[in-house]
Amino acid sequence: MLPTSRAFFVSYAGILLAGAIPVPIYPPFRADRIEEYAARQSAILSNAEVCLLLTFRRAEAVAKLLRPRVRSLTEVADAEKLIEAADKAPHLRRVRFRCTSPAAARASGATLRCCNTPRGSTGDPKGVVLTHANLLANIRGVGEAVQLGPGDVGVSWLPLYHDMGLIGAWLTLLHFGIPLTVMSPLAFLTRPERWLQAFHNIAEQSRRRQICVRALRSKDCG
């Protein structure tokens, strides 16, 4: 239960490396609808049999309201605090990261990678489990359809708890090694021009890099 932030990306990757299944849900954003929010999210968490809920400081109180509603939920933790603690741990700073965890080494096409929950407006929400093969098929299909290449960049305001933001934007571009600039949905909705400004900033950075490359080539030739 995290907003668009560094904590979301780190937490999602950590969950996969631990061999667990991430279940992204959207964070609370309206104080006058907390009861409705709690009822819906507790149904999602119960259906997925979630045991650990990662959240952020401003939503920690709301997250704790979900705990008595979900039998499987045994722990609620602030993801930002966990990351800060890991960053400060001396023994962790000395370890060079390598993707050689037992869970990662055992990954196959049938390995469960995500539990995505449709809106469920006509009934209780039910999670859809996606495997490694499911995700790769979708990601490769998107890449082929839009002809993604090494010179491309991405800018997205789509929510990361939604399949279009999570898979269509982040995981697809991650798979193809394409840089992605992300902004929160609220940042886009309050000022839509921020999305266009992000494209402009990227284009400007690319133009400056090209100028530097031409200058260096000219110097080498001279």
Q: What is the pLDDT of residues 64-87, one digit of tens each?
A: 888 889 999 999 999 999 999 888
Long-range interactions of 26-33: CB distance < 8 A, separation 24+: 26/1, 26/159, 26/161, 27/1, 27/2, 27/3, 27/55, 27/56, 27/59, 28/59, 28/62, 29/186
Q: Is 176 helix (H, G, I), strand (E, B) or coil?
A: coil
Distance, CA of 135 to CA of 12 (rounded, Å): 15
What's the pLDDT band for 212 if we cut at 50, 70, 90?
confident
Q: Say how far residue 108 (Cα) sits from the centre of its chain.
A: 21
Say which residue, 178 or 217, is predicted with more confidence: 178
What DSSP designation does 77 have?
A: E
pLDDT, one tens digit per residue, over 172-201 is: 999 999 999 999 998 899 999 988 888 878
**In this structure, how many other beta carbons lie within 10 angstroms of the beta carbon of residue 85?**
11
* Its pTM surpasses 0.75: yes
Average pLDDT over residues 106-132: 72
**In this structure, how many other beta carbons lie within 10 angstroms of the beta carbon of residue 187?**
15
What DSSP designation does 69 have?
A: G
Is it the case that residue 221 has pLDDT exceeding 90? no
Backbone angles phi, psi at 113, to 5 degrees: -120, -25
Is it the case that residue 56 has pLDDT exceeding 70? yes
Q: Is 75 helix (H, G, I), strand (E, B) or coil?
A: strand
**Amino acid letter for position 184:** S
